[in-house]
Structure 1
Amino acid sequence: MLGGVAAEVYEYALRNGTFKDEEIAGRLGVDVQLISEAREALQDLRLLAVSANGRVVAALDPDIAEAELVTPLELSIAQRRREIAGIHQELRVLSEVYRSRARSTDDDVPIRVLDDFEDVRREIDLARRRCTEERISLQPGGGRSAELLEQDLLQTLEMRKRGIRIRTLYQNTARASLATRTYVRQICAQGAEVRTAEELSERLIIYDRKFAFIPKERTGKKPPGAALVTDPTVVAYLCRSFESIWQASQPFEIGRTAEYQQITEDLRVSITRLMAKGLKDEGIARRLGMATRTCRRHISAIMEEVGATSRFQAGLLLAQQGLIPDTSAVPANPDSGEVADS
């Protein structure tokens, strides 16, 4: 509201003790309309005193104007805080009653299958709020949507403020997503840890090494349900599996061109390795967490580079040149199972 003209107008009125639009416009060499707009802005900010007949009579102290403007907002905020505290206090008693009954029915159920996604979301929200030490998660596939990342950003930053350790594993292909790179930069700046691996099996979230969420298989467009696992043996096994992948993964570092190029080369090697095994395009894309169309684009470029007429042949040629490992894994019959047509 206080642009350059408004600030000059306020200074003039303060220095001269008068305020006439035409006079000030002439002194400052600007259009009178700009002076009129500046006057209205200064009045809205309580910086000009106006007489009963609407004439500006004096410039006012900004400290007093600030108090007049801020005090009602502070009172409103204080009122909202009292309302929030009241809601917490009223519901906390009933929450304890509900949880005590839920514990009595769920303690003997080490695995609860939640078919409705809203039930899953509520349980995850509860686990997040009660989390005191660590959240670890596997996020297979490529980059996530900006909407999901924006929501998770607020939750992750809130957990970091409480001192909770955050560790997340993505697949290498997630590095190509601008939204994911932006999200990773923001949470890592607050102490979160993010790494990537070539292949990840399923999505997994574990809170405090006590509550593990494993999604059900997606059967349509709706988000799937999930299994909430609390059995200590199973959760410990899932944590050990996460640690194994974590140790073999690479840090998700932002802004390093050389490292990004290395990831691109690693992706190329991963594709050719799976081609040598005879997997179809869809199978390769699924294993590496990328779109099938993108995968086919990479495959076409690789085949053209080595002069191959089939994916299987390209894999063999690259293996013979020593560009990919594990040639012993090439199946004898590439036309069976999940292998590609020649």
Structure 2
Amino acid sequence: MATSNRPNAPELDSACVAAYDHAVRQGVFDDSDVAEQLALGEAEVLRIRTVLTDLRLLIRGEDGSATVPASPEIAEAELSAHLEAGIIERREQLARIHRQMRSLAPVYRAHRHLPQASQSVRLVEDPAAVRRELAAATRACTSEAFTVQPGGGRSPEALNEAIARDTTMLKRGVTMRILYQHTVRANLATRTYTRKVTELGAEVRTAEEIYERLIIFDRSLAFVPQERVGGRPPGAAIVTDETIVGHLWRMHDKMWQSASPYDPRDVDYASTSEEIKASILRLMATGLKDDVIARKLGMATRTCRRYMAGIMDELGATSRFQAGVRATSLGMVKPDPNP
């Protein structure tokens, strides 16, 4: 049975209340009497009659010759019965959807074998399919979500897609940890996103270098993106093997423990800027090219070069090599934390 498209009940305004009050005292709703007593025009009385009738507050008398006021309790019961029937029907439809889809899940799992992946490591190459799988995993998550995001600030489009998904999860009481690189602290879109999720209880930290993107749900399901080729969004490996997921979680939890807490309300970037400079100095001393250093630190090559120019100016160096030598001699270059 399809749900009725019955329109919403009309609003009961002060004129309707006054007319109903008069009808209750008189025992009948008479148009001319209501118009005279309340100083109303014919059109307004007709409107009031229609509203009260739709609300079941006016009914035909026993002989059918007059319109009389009805009990609000009876009217409420009649109006509510229709809505409650619709709610029950929709609940039954929802239960039927759950029952039918869950009955097919074993069929899908049994036959969804890809040549290059076992059931516990499933490769999904279509980015749209990855997003659907990610949305389903988010809905199913019950205790913890751990996200590792290398690179600089994320695009506003990606963040808009994430905010609705993540806030819904947080409101269910799921613990959420997000690990970024230091450079996101100066990115407005990412800072706005992190402010919203931290207000709901998420914890955010930043680190100097992060090597791989990763999302882990409930320490039992991991999304490991493929390597990005050109500008095309990558697919992902969806991992459910207990040993592999546990290893990924422990490895990145160690990175989390050494990362710096990030409060998006703090707009003082001085300390972060110094950390970035120190990281660039260390990488310069290893002889890496500008674009490689920028990629490792999650920043644009042009931004990285501006930092380098400032560092060389501070050290009075005329070359990158000279800057590295002077920084090392001054003890400014820290050992690589991930040799």
Same fold (TM over 0.5): yes
Give SS of 1:166's match.
strand
Paired position in structure 1 for 2:317: 308
2:291 to 274, 282, 285: 282
Contact 1:141 1:288 in 2 (8 A): yes
Paired position in structure 2 for 1:100: 106
Aligned positions of 1:158-197 closer than 5 A: 158-197=168-207
CA shift digits 1:227-274 (9 cap, x unpaired):
01111111000000111001100111133355x211111001101110
Is 1:212 aligned to residue 222 of structure 2?
A: yes
Give SS of 1:149's match.
helix
* Displacement of 1:275: 0.5
Matched residues, number: 269
* Displacement of 1:282: 0.5
Change (3 A) 1:300 1:159: same
Paired position in structure 1 for 2:278: 269
Change (3 A) 1:308 1:251: same
Is 1:88 aligned to residue 94 of structure 2?
A: yes
**Whole-Å separation in 2 of the counterparts to 1:272 and 1:190:** 37
Paired position in structure 2 for 1:126: 136
Report which of the two structures shows the higher radius of gyration computed on alpha carbons. Answer: 2
**Whole-Å separation in 2 of the counterparts to 1:100 and 1:204:** 27
Change (3 A) 1:278 1:76: farther
| Structure 2 unaligned regions, length at least 5 | 1-38, 45-75
Paired position in structure 1 for 2:47: none
**Whole-Å separation in 2 of the counterparts to 1:144 and 1:111:** 27
**Stretch deviating more after TM superposition (151-160 or 135-144):** 151-160
**Stretch deviating more after TM superposition (128-137 or 86-95):** 86-95
1:323 to 314, 329, 332: 332
Change (3 A) 1:138 1:97: same
Give SS of 2:130's match.
helix
Change (3 A) 1:310 1:207: same
Report the AA paired with residue 98 of structure 2.
R
Aligned positions of 1:1-342 closer than 5 A: 51-52=41-42, 85=91, 87-105=93-111, 109-258=119-268, 260-326=269-335
* Displacement of 1:220: 2.7
CA shift digits 1:121-169 (9 cap, x unpaired):
1111111111111110100111112222122111111111111110110
Give SS of 2:256's match.
helix
| Structure 1 unaligned regions, length at least 5 | 1-48, 55-70, 330-342
Contact 2:224 2:236 in 1 (8 A): yes
**Stretch deviating more after TM superposition (305-314 or 294-303):** 305-314
Give SS of 1:227's match.
strand
TM-score by length of 2: 0.71
**Whole-Å separation in 2 of the counterparts to 1:309 and 1:326:** 24
Contact 1:276 1:313 in 2 (8 A): no
Change (3 A) 1:244 1:53: closer
**Alignment RMSD (CA, Å):** 3.3
Change (3 A) 1:294 1:80: farther
**Stretch deviating more after TM superposition (94-103 or 213-222):** 94-103
Give SS of 1:150's match.
helix
Contact 2:135 2:165 in 1 (8 A): no
TM-score by length of 1: 0.70
* Displacement of 1:51: 2.9
Contact 1:115 1:225 in 2 (8 A): yes
Contact 1:277 1:312 in 2 (8 A): no
